[in-house]
Amino acid sequence: MSQRRAEAPPVEEEEDITKMEIEEEVEAPMINAGEERKKRAKEMKSSEMRAWVSWTLVLAVFLAFPPFQRERVEEMGFGEIFRIDRMRVDPTLTLALWRRWDAEAAAFVLPWGHMIPSLEDVSRITGLRIYGRAVSGFTYPCYQSLAERLLGLPVGHRSSLVPRVALQESLGLYEVGKNARESEDEYLERLVQVSQRELASEPGAQADLDLRRFLIFFLGRLLFATRGDTVHCRFQPLLEDLGEVGGYAWGAAFLAHQFDSLGASERQTSTSGFFPFLQVWAYLHLPALGRGDLTRPGLVPIARRWDSRRDSRNLGDHLERLQEAIDSYPYLDVVWQLYLGESDKGQPWLVPARPYFGRSVWLHALNLVLPLHLFLCQRSLGLRQSAVEFPTRDRFRRPGRSFRGLHDTTDWHEWAKEQIQNWESRGKAVKSTATTDDAYLQAYALKYGGKVYKSARHQDKEAAQRQAAELAQLAGAVLRAEEAQRHLEEQERDLRLTTEHVMYLQGQRDQLQGERDQLQGEI
């Protein structure tokens, strides 16, 4: 399976970012490690605050909408996001996972094998719709006229960006700074009240304008957030007909965006996208890390159940400890099948989503066309892991982030026709004929070597691969021992049930014997 991808049309902001990164690379040797850690910690704290504030502002507008507008957002499939409590950002966890991401395989590379966020994870954790039409269509070199017509906001000449402040103010968010003595609830309530003054109270053209502005704000600043202080218009063409918005698989597009963000430069420090998804995904798979608290069990979607733990330690030291914890994480504590005990109660979106579970498929978010290589983590589906051929990225000509100028109009239905058809046919079901995980683990260890096994990191390549192979054999032995233990437990349970049944029958026989003796005595 190959990977096919193109980037968003370049804009002035991206050019500035590229220049900034180049300057940082030049200056990096002049900065000692301590200063670099402090700088990164400051950037992470800033990005954490920006992500939290964006969520608060989007939620405030949703709550300020009159009931008929909120119903429209619900019908589009976005309502569950706004029932999730505002979770604290855990940038250390995000960065630790980020450093484990393999962009070629589009998967996390961990000591026990690949792990991949799936469409079922998106559906159960966020409640977003993963079914429907692919989020695809046209991208343009300039969205100025389209944005001005559909949003009623001024956009720069030959630009694809809406100024964030102008967009916020069009939704009634003029004073968005949090006062020193305000609680989080008081802050949100004040934002709701000021936003209500600007929003249409009855259906009509103004209400449609409000809704499009909200959707572009929600998509650009929360669900598909990127670095920078502006909002991209690339999804605007899909919002022209508001009645069609709910027919798109926004959850699948969200997963493509997550993959793209994880594959970004390691110098990036901001948290992109709806950050609770990846955090809760890690809480569920790696509970022994102790990063989250299950404070509201039973709520759906699953992100509503969790809070992230507060940690005031230095980011650099904290990150190093967390990476050590992942390196030495007990294999038997990894949770592969997350939803075995989960019911579908209160989650009507799961019924149409099920046909997309357990399938390798291409994901679409307009100019992002990325594969979900679910076959790399068959254990998450209750299967033995086959020794598969690890995917490698196709090399093909595509525009990059540093491209200067404007792209041509692109019809993604034509450019990615094969991948669109793949989505419409729901990809390929994951199957396995393997009887053990050993062959996969050995192939995995030989491919990644010291990248995932800490003890092999500072050795030469041959030694690292040799030790990685030995560790893979050990992991296979541990997994077989675990399977044997489960088998013994099942036998023990069966024996206990059989014994209880025999005792019950013995009691019944004794009772019948007593009744017979009593009748014989009476005769």
445 within 8 A of 472, measured Cβ to Cβ: yes
94 within 8 A of 275, measured Cβ to Cβ: yes
Return the pLDDT at 446.
Answer: 86
The secondary structure of 117-159 as a DSSP string is --HHHHHHHH-----SB-B--EE-S--HHHHHHHH-----TT-
Ranges 31-40, 276-285, 397-406, 483-492, most confident: 276-285
Give dist(CA 461, CA 467) in Å, integer.
10
Q: Which of 483, 395, 476, 397 is nearest to 441 (CA)?
A: 476
**Contacts made by residues 217-221, CB under 8 angstroms, sequence distance 24+:** 217/57, 217/58, 217/61, 217/167, 217/168, 217/171, 218/58, 218/62, 218/78, 220/162, 221/54, 221/57, 221/58, 221/164
Per-residue pLDDT reduced to its tens digit, 441-461: 989 988 887 777 654 344 455
Return the pLDDT at 152.
Answer: 93
Return the pLDDT at 159.
Answer: 73
272 within 8 A of 226, measured Cβ to Cβ: yes
Tokens 């490698």 label which residue? 392
How far is residue 158 from each of residues 37, 151, 153, 161, 238, measured CA to CA in Å? Answer: 38, 16, 14, 9, 20
Give dist(CA 89, CA 335) in Å, integer.
23
Give dist(CA 171, CA 69) in Å, integer.
13
Which residue would you say has higher pLDDT here, 516 or 427?
427
Return the pLDDT at 466.
Answer: 58
Give dist(CA 370, CA 363) in Å, integer.
5
Return the pLDDT at 395.
Answer: 47
Identity of the residue numbered 178: K
Average confidence (pLDDT) over 313-319: 75
Give dist(CA 158, CA 405) in Å, integer.
10
Handedness of CA 144, 145, 147, 152 (dihedral sign): positive
Average confidence (pLDDT) over 314-340: 88
Average confidence (pLDDT) over 360-388: 94
Per-residue pLDDT reduced to its tens digit, 393-428: 654 344 433 333 446 788 999 989 999 999 999 999
Give dist(CA 440, CA 33) in Å, integer.
38
Per-chain mean pLDDT for the chain = 82
pLDDT over 90 at 33, yes or no: no
pTM, two decimals, is 0.81
Return the pLDDT at 467.
Answer: 57
What's the pLDDT band for 156 if we cut at 50, 70, 90? confident
113 within 8 A of 439, measured Cβ to Cβ: no
Handedness of CA 110, 114, 119, 123 (dihedral sign): negative
- CB neighbour class for 348 (10 Å; exposed up to 12, middle 13-18, buried from 19): exposed
Query: DSSP E strands: which ranges in 48-142?
Result: 101-102, 107-110, 113-115, 138-139
Phi, psi of 149 (to 5 degrees): -75, -45
Which residue would you say has higher pLDDT here, 284 or 9?
284
Least confident of 237-251, 310-324, 343-357: 310-324
For 334, the 3-state DSSP assignment is: coil
Which residue would you say has higher pLDDT here, 467 or 56?
56
What's the pLDDT band for 499 if we cut at 50, 70, 90? confident
Least confident of 66-75, 88-97, 109-118: 88-97
Handedness of CA 201, 204, 205, 207 (dihedral sign): positive
Average confidence (pLDDT) over 298-327: 87
Give dist(CA 75, CA 246) in Å, integer.
7
Per-residue pLDDT reduced to its tens digit, 226-273: 766 678 888 999 999 999 999 999 999 999 999 998 987 554 444 567
Return the pLDDT at 397.
Answer: 44
Q: Which of 229, 221, 224 is nearest to 163 (CA)?
A: 229
Q: DSSP label at 113?
A: E
Helix, strand, coil % over all residues of the chain, rounded to 5: 55, 10, 35
pLDDT over 70 at 279, yes or no: yes
pLDDT over 50 at 9, yes or no: no
Phi, psi of 44 (to 5 degrees): -65, -40
As given in the structure block, the two tokens for residue 143 are: 């969205």
Return the pLDDT at 47.
Answer: 61
Task: Quote the percentage of the chain above a pLDDT of 70.
Answer: 78
What's the pLDDT band for 474 if we cut at 50, 70, 90? low
Return the pLDDT at 315.
Answer: 67
Q: Which of 340, 434, 438 is nearest to 113 (CA)?
A: 438
Return the pLDDT at 458.
Answer: 41
Give dist(CA 376, CA 116) in Å, integer.
8
Give dist(CA 451, CA 514) in Å, integer.
73
H or E element that contains 294: strand 292-294
Query: How far, rounded to the nearest angstrom, does the alpha carbon of residue 501 sit from its chain's CA centroid?
Result: 48
54 within 8 A of 218, measured Cβ to Cβ: no
Return the pLDDT at 291.
Answer: 95
